[in-house]
Structure 1
Amino acid sequence: MSFGSPNNPYGAPQDPQQGYGYPQQGQPGYGYPQAPGGVPPQGGYGYPQQPGHPGGAGGPAPRIASMGRRFGARLIDGVVFGIVYTILIVAGAVSAFNSAQDCGDPGSLGYDSCINDAGSDMASKLGAVIGVLWIISLLYEWLMVGLFGRTLGKMAVGLHVVNAETGAKPGLGKAFIRWIIPTVGSIACGIGALLVYLSPFWDKSGRQQGWHDKAAGTMVVMN
């Protein structure tokens, strides 16, 4: 029994136009589904896209923002608010001090009543400062994230807040939900807000979405 010619001892068909196991030009390759014309379909390199994944089907996967960058952005925004808060507190304290100075010397007629009035005035001004800070926080975080997708802090570290389904800017509705959740959480001595900002560590979706992101349908990505 012969298994082939001496030059082809295994009996494989010898065709000068065909090698051993390597696809020739114009033939289907191995491992890639062929598109019309024999060209492998584009896309599919990197991260597989899911329906609704930012970037669209076959588009580049977004680079999820690290918690370190997010902390840096929040820290910068906190410094901005700290400066504004300090200015308002100092202005209120100076005003209250001037009111106390107008009460005259201790022991003078009406001094105690005047001091009490000055204390009440200072408390009311402190409440006004807190209210102004809430308004500034709303306008700053809500409008900047909704319209531009970023605050000053996020600009500094190269981050964007996007719609988790489309990759577009969140819009004012989603930005408001994203702002109100940690703001309400901050009422309990800031503990609720802290948990909200730490919640991306517990997210198992791979997007590192915090509770405020999940409620709003947003995510934070790098530029």
Structure 2
Amino acid sequence: MSFGSPNNPYGQPQNPQQPGYGHPQPDQSGYGHPQQGQPGYGAPQQPGYGQPQQGQPGYGYPQAPGLPPQQGYGYPQQPGYPGGSVPGGPRVASMGRRFGARVIDGVAFGIIYTVLIVVGVVGSLGAAQDCDPNSVNYDSCINDAGSDFASAFGAMFGVLAIVGLLYEWLMTGLVGATLGKLCVGIRVVKVDTGQKPGLGSSFIRWIIPMVGSIACGIGQLLVYLSPFWDKSGRQQGWHDKAASTMVVQN
């Protein structure tokens, strides 16, 4: 009785369709060999983290055409003007700089007021000295000198009010800044264009705090403090919102 060939000692028939141990099958790949249709070790894999996939922008890569750009500070960017402190755009002027500009303008006008008042007082005293104390018309002369001083002071006050209007209105509308703003490096611009406000917008921006000053200056103070309550990130006061302007740093 034969026990088979030396290569098959147990007499079991070999199956030519099944490979032996260590030989890869026709439809299956062995260890370390890439299977058909699947990438093996060293083959190109799916894009990893940080790499843009098809149809989707990855981290650090530009977005697909037609998608709106990202905006800064949580408010929408106005067309034609990069509003807010966005990289590459203007910086919103700080309230400290704006306060400094008001102080400089106020000091300049205070000096002008003081000079005119001193001139008026000196002129009134000179007119009073011309009155003869021994004259029966002395009291009348003193009263006339005082009336002349009051009339001159009222006229000077009116002239200064007009000069202040022209100064704030024309400088802001045509230049974009008063002398105080120029000193601290800030300017007023239109929100939608970034250009100078123009005479119409600058007048609106000026007249609102002036109307507020009628109530003992309380309304004017609230207008100038209103940028602290602005939630848009532009620090616009009520007068800025009405005139569609904002204050930026040069």
- Please tell me the TM-score bracket, short chain as reference: 0.7 to 0.9
Alignment coverage as a number of residue pairs: 216
Unaligned ranges ≥5, structure 1:
none
Residue aligned with 2:174, SS: helix
Supply the AA of the counterpart residue of 1:137.
G
- 1:154 alignment partner, one of 165, 173, 181: 181
What corresponds to 1:127 in structure 2?
Answer: 154
Matches within 5 A, 1:136-147: 136-147=163-174
Change (3 A) 1:87 1:30: same
What corresponds to 1:22 in structure 2?
Answer: 48
Change (3 A) 1:192 1:23: closer
Bigger radius of gyration among the two:
2
- 2:91 alignment partner, one of 49, 56, 63: 63
- 1:101 alignment partner, one of 129, 154, 158: 129
1:43 and 1:59 in contact (8 A); partners too: no
**Which shows bigger deviation, 68-77 or 44-53?**
44-53
Unaligned ranges ≥5, structure 2:
1-27
1:92 and 1:125 in contact (8 A); partners too: yes
1:18 and 1:24 in contact (8 A); partners too: no
Residue aligned with 1:219, SS: strand
More helix by share: 1
In 1, the alpha carbon distance for the partners of 2:193 and 2:150 equals 47
Aligned-residue sequence identity (percent) comes to: 60
* Superposition TM-score, scaled by structure 1 size: 0.82
- 1:181 alignment partner, one of 174, 183, 208: 208
1:46 and 1:61 in contact (8 A); partners too: no
In 2, the alpha carbon distance for the partners of 1:24 and 1:15 equals 21
In 2, the alpha carbon distance for the partners of 1:86 and 1:127 equals 14
| 1:211, distance to aligned residue in structure 2 (A) | 1.4
1:168 aligned to 2:195? yes
What corresponds to 2:118 in structure 1?
Answer: 90
What corresponds to 2:17 in structure 1?
Answer: none
Change (3 A) 1:24 1:71: closer
Residue aligned with 2:92, SS: coil
